[in-house]
Amino acid sequence: MEFAAQTPRQEAPCPAELDEFAVAFYERTLGRADFCPSGIADELGVPRQRAEQAVCVLRELRLVKPAEGVVDRLVAVSPEAAQMELLVPLEREILDSRRRLAGFKGQLSSFVAAFEKQARTRAESVVITDDQEEIELRLLEAAQGCTTEVLVMQPCVARETHELRLARPLVLEALRRGAQARILYPHTARGDSVTRAHLGELLPAGGQVRTTNEVRDRFLVFDRKTAFIPAGEGDAIAVVYEGAVAAFLAGLHARAWESAFDFDSGAAGYAGTMEDLKATLLDLLASGAKDEVIARRVGMSERTLRRHVATIMQDLSATSRFQAGVLAARTGLVDPALRSAA
């Protein structure tokens, strides 16, 4: 079946800017059989160019029109007549658009039941894909159907992945529809200007944001029904349509949320979380974890991690990472239980 290409609709022109002179010009033309713009300009003692500008405004508002049978002469029109000519067609067009909108809504509602039935009987419980377009479509589907809450755990915006970047405007839209959103970032996100700029939009919309000393991984959960989690080391994403998995991730999020710190957009820098971050770094250093592992656990780049480690070593007067770990253990700055678990 072929469909005819739709031609773009022409928008109605916006009226030119109205000023007091245009009103004064119009008042001077009232009660005359016809008039010449230059004559009105002479009467008002203004340049003719200004009179022509006023005429342009009045023409667009349909308050003047050419006089019949007389060249280069105009006649004033009453506002009521101008309204009939200018506004009635626009109001009719608005009414037609509303009827078309209602018609489209009625037609689309016929497909809602079929869609919901398909969603309830979805054959696949897990879809693994690295196709960016498919990921975007599945994110859009989950977000548009979200009515209660969105849960997010992610690194700072500067290090976010493709699906998290796509999810940002969708989370904002879910908030505007009345859903709740709770987002967990690592403490290091507090020092990231791009993250703070994004949170400047998220917080006023009603989103709740906290930071924690460790973000083990990233995931999104919509309504505890659909989850988006990494699938391996590449760009592949596992979309899980299984309530039990989504509920499990929601539980992980809730436990991390309890010990996390509220994010205050007005507070500068790490805002009191630096000691918590420093303690976590010391624990991981004492465990012997590699830089790559530590950086991923706390949500920062390896370069930033090395800068923090250098500062910690300087504070402890340590000449090596091992010595820093030993000194931290002796002074009680690390948690032995956490170190053995790590």
Indicate the CATH number for domain 274-341: 1.10.10.10
- pLDDT, residue 332, reads 62
Q: Which of 18-22, 129-133, 334-338 has the highest mean pLDDT?
A: 129-133
What are the φ and ψ backbone dihedral angles of 74, each rounded to 5 degrees? -125, 165
C-alpha distances out from residue 130 to 42, 125, 168, 177, Å = 73, 17, 19, 29
Task: Say whether pTM exceeds 0.75.
Answer: no
pLDDT one-digit tens code per residue, 281-302: 777 777 777 878 777 777 677 7
Cβ atoms of 280 and 255 within 8 Å: the answer is no
CATH 3.40.50.300 fits 126-262, yes or no: no
Average pLDDT, the chain: 79
pLDDT one-digit tens code per residue, 325-338: 677 666 666 554 43
Instruction: Give the H/E segment covering residue 151.
Output: strand 149-153
20-81 and 274-341 share one CATH topology? yes
- pLDDT, residue 157, reads 61
- The architecture in CATH of the region 20-81 reads Orthogonal Bundle (1.10)
Cα–Cα distance measured from residue 208 to residue 192, given in angstroms and rounded to the nearest whole number: 18
- pLDDT, residue 269, reads 54
Domains of the chain, residue spans: 20-81, 126-262, 274-341
pLDDT one-digit tens code per residue, 222-276: 999 999 999 877 789 999 998 899 999 999 999 989 888 888 765 555 555 666 6
- pLDDT, residue 179, reads 93
- pLDDT, residue 249, reads 94
What are the φ and ψ backbone dihedral angles of 262, each rounded to 5 degrees? -60, 140
C-alpha distances out from residue 101 to 81, 106, 107, 108, 177, Å = 30, 9, 10, 11, 20
Percent of the chain with pLDDT over 90: 24
Q: Is the pLDDT of residue 67 over 80?
A: yes
- Kindly compute the dihedral angle of the four CA atoms of residues 33, 36, 37, 39, in this order, to the nearest 10 degrees: -100
- pLDDT, residue 299, reads 67
Burial zone of 26 (CB within 10 Å; 0-12 exposed, 13-18 middle, 19+ buried): buried
Q: Is the pLDDT of residue 339 over 60?
A: no
More reliable by pLDDT, 270 or 205: 205
Cα–Cα distance measured from residue 106 to residue 213, given in angstroms and rounded to the nearest whole number: 50
- pLDDT, residue 203, reads 86
Residue 8 binned pLDDT confidence (cut-offs 50, 70, 90): very low
